[in-house]
Amino acid sequence: MSARGRTGRSGDNGFSLAKVLVLVAVLAVLAAVVVFAVQRQDDEAASPAGTGAAESLPRGGTMVVAIQGTSGSLNPATTSNGGVHTNSEAMFNGLMAFDPSNKVVPDLASATPVTTDNPDGSQDVVFTLRPGMQWHNGTPIIADDVKFSFEEALLRGHSRTAASMGPALGVTGSGNSAKTPPDAITLPDGPNGLTVKFRFRYKYAPLVKQMNVTEAPIIPKNYFASCAVTGGDGTLIDPTPTCAKNLAPVGSGPFKFASVNPNAITLERNPTYFKRDLPYLARVVLQNTAAASVAPSLQAARGTAGSVDVGSPAGNLLPPTAPTFAGPDYEIASVPRGTGGGNCITTLSFNLWAKGQPAPAVSADPGSYNHPILKNLAVRKAIYQAFDRQAAFTNIDYGQGRVADSPFHSGLTGAHAPQRNLPSFDVAQARDGLQAAGWIAGPAVTDTRTSDGRPGLPPAGTPLVLDAIHFNTGNQAAYGVQLDNNLRQVGIDLNDRPLDSAATQTAMKDRNYDTTFVSYCAGDDPTIGARRQYHSTQISPVAFTNTSGIREPKASVGDESMDDLWDRAVQATGAEAASLYGKIQTKAVDLLPMAWLAESSNSRVSRSVCKGLNQQNTGLFMEAASCAL
């Protein structure tokens, strides 16, 4: 009895302790399950949705993607050049991203940013990075990398981000001379922490739409800091490959740089990618494929020499124009954002200032434009009228997109407003306009034409000759030929100058052109990409910004000058923003700093054996893709 009692008491005491231990163990397991579930939920929220369960998708294999050219920098933070971004974005990430449903979701950030409105009208926006992420070289991704990416690259060399977000952060100057205020980007937890605070001088409406890998790719400070330009203020070399690290980049993305040659850029799977289960592919090959060869390369047997799995054929090869890819072996998707930007318009920009000379640094009225030919609005209008935009669109873009009817792309819903007073194609009116502006129907101005003292007339003997610079690939080369043929009909001799990517951007920085074709992409808000072409502060030595040099005088806040309208629109939303953007478009058409030609509308063709492409997410479209082995 006694022994049994003691055992019983011991057993009671022991049983009670056991129950506690079991309960603690159960609670620990439950806690672990909850944590795992929350973590899984976080991972899934940040990972592309709708790609299927990981266990059902094949792992390994190679996806071959058609690109046009492998030369040049692979650093997307220092330029908005579409070619650079096409070839590099799969190796990088932004703080935010677009999921397959077109929703903005966290990418490098752990959650959507926390925003605080300050009494002085400024706005603080705080991003927190995911813990435990690594760059491809194994070093941790920290807050200082974000600060470095903006201060030393994006706000200096990336034309869209510098021209839009820069002013909102109080950045002054441009290019190497850009100065970021010390309170604009701060690190509350120190450089090695995970928190980054942006202080905007005013509410910046398009922010989360701009923090993706196309508009704001984040790069590692520990790798790229040595690429600082000697004698500058620390800006990265943009976009030339002078710094070797721009040719063999280190990023955070699902794929790592492996090699490059004239035929291809090879990327390997990043085994430490911060998104659970991704990527599935073992490698991605970005294959140099001439535009005319994209369709045959897609049609070739998979895995044979020259074949590709993903590409963007010319519009005349897409259904319903032609049934080339209408069968079950291919999938065709509309791509709202290309690598390098979305909602793009191909334009012919008129340099209003003397060729090869910087525009004056101080504000000046339009009467001070000093280009001997293009300073005259009547001449710009005549060139517009002489350019057969519809024929160019039909023959070059194959009806993919539409002829532009505004300075803003129609994809910018709530901002785009069709303009009824755009000049229409009319050769006779173009010739009459040139004569009224002081030109004869020939190669030069005569003394009699300049002796009547009419304003805007060029000096006697000025030849009616213009040049046009543009990329030597893509539709810009074809647009140059079209412009040359059209302008000959009105007596203008055009020197068509197709250049490679680096030479084109150098000429733009030096303003060494009379006219230039430029496809300016607005992204998901006019402020992101369109503002840079019209605001006077963007006349700078940065390629793709204010390519005409338009500068309307600004007398005071609220005077509805071009600068004032943009300064107010960036802070506005809803009906107020729509009204301001409507005024901007009307004013741009009245001033005609450029001829708006065609809206781009890209399609991506992929073999049906490749699944899971995120068509919304620009250069990371293959992040969760898988191809049958």
Is the pLDDT at 2 greater than 50, yes or no? no
Give every CB contact of residue 104 below 8 A, 6+ residues apart in sequence.
Answer: 96, 97, 98, 112, 208, 209, 212
Q: Nearest 10 degrees: CA dihedral of 326, 605, 529, 482?
A: -70
Distance in angstroms (rounded) separating the CA atoms of residues 76 and 310: 21
Of 181-195, 291-305, 333-347, the one with minimum mean pLDDT is: 333-347
pLDDT of residue 240: 63
Mean pLDDT (whole number) for 378-391: 95
pLDDT of residue 438: 81
Give every CB contact of residue 262 below 8 A, 6+ residues apart in sequence.
Answer: 70, 71, 288
Location of structure tokens 């740089």: 257
DSSP β-bridge partners for residue 517: 348
- Tens digit of pLDDT for each residue in 132-150? 999 999 999 999 999 999 9
More confident residue, 140 or 628: 140
- Tens digit of pLDDT for each residue in 214-242? 999 999 999 999 888 766 666 776 656 67
Q: Is the dihedral of CA 23, 29, 35, 40 positive or negative?
A: negative
Mean pLDDT (whole number) for 281-291: 95
3-class secondary structure per residue, 72-111: CCCCHHHCCCHHHHHHHHHHCECCEEECCCCCEEECCECC
Q: Could you tell me whether strands 96-98 and 104-106 are parallel, antiparallel, or unpaired per DSSP bridges? A: antiparallel
Mean pLDDT (whole number) for 59-73: 93
- Tens digit of pLDDT for each residue in 559-574? 899 999 998 888 888 8
pLDDT of residue 401: 86
pLDDT of residue 191: 96
- Pick from 355, 370, 361, 352: nearest CA to 510: 355
pLDDT of residue 171: 92
Phi, psi of 562 (to 5 degrees): -60, -45
b vs e for 360-390, b when ≥16 Cβ sit within 10 Å of the residue's Cβ?
eeeebeeeebebbbbbbbbbbbbbbbbbbbe
pLDDT of residue 174: 76
- Tens digit of pLDDT for each residue in 480-500? 999 999 999 998 999 999 998
More confident residue, 504 or 442: 504
pLDDT of residue 449: 43
Q: In the structure encoding, which two tokens stand for residue 286, read together? A: 């970005």
- Tens digit of pLDDT for each residue in 507-544? 988 999 999 998 888 888 898 889 889 988 888 877 88
Q: In the structure encoding, which two tokens stand for residue 556, read together? A: 């005071």
Of 292-296, 450-454, 481-485, 573-577, the one with minimum mean pLDDT is: 450-454
Structural domains of the chain sorted by starting position, each given as residue range(s) with its CATH number in brackets: 62-309+609-627 (3.40.190.10), 341-429+465-602 (3.10.105.10)
More confident residue, 54 or 587: 587
**DSSP conformation class of 169:** T
Distance in angstroms (rounded) separating the CA atoms of residues 87 and 395: 27
pLDDT of residue 607: 97
pLDDT of residue 613: 94
Sheet holding 185-186, edge to edge: 114-117, 123-128, 195-200, 185-186
Distance in angstroms (rounded) separating the CA atoms of residues 150 and 169: 11
CB 94 within 8 A of CB 217: yes
Is the pLDDT at 40 greater than 70, yes or no? no
Mean pLDDT (whole number) for 109-123: 96
Location of structure tokens 């390997």: 268
Q: In the structure encoding, which two tokens stand for residue 139, read together? A: 């070093």
Is the pLDDT at 339 greater than 70, yes or no? no
Flag whether the pTM goes above 0.85.
Answer: no
- Tens digit of pLDDT for each residue in 358-376? 776 555 555 588 898 999 9
Q: What percent of the chain has pLDDT over 70?
A: 84
Distance in angstroms (rounded) separating the CA atoms of residues 489 and 392: 16
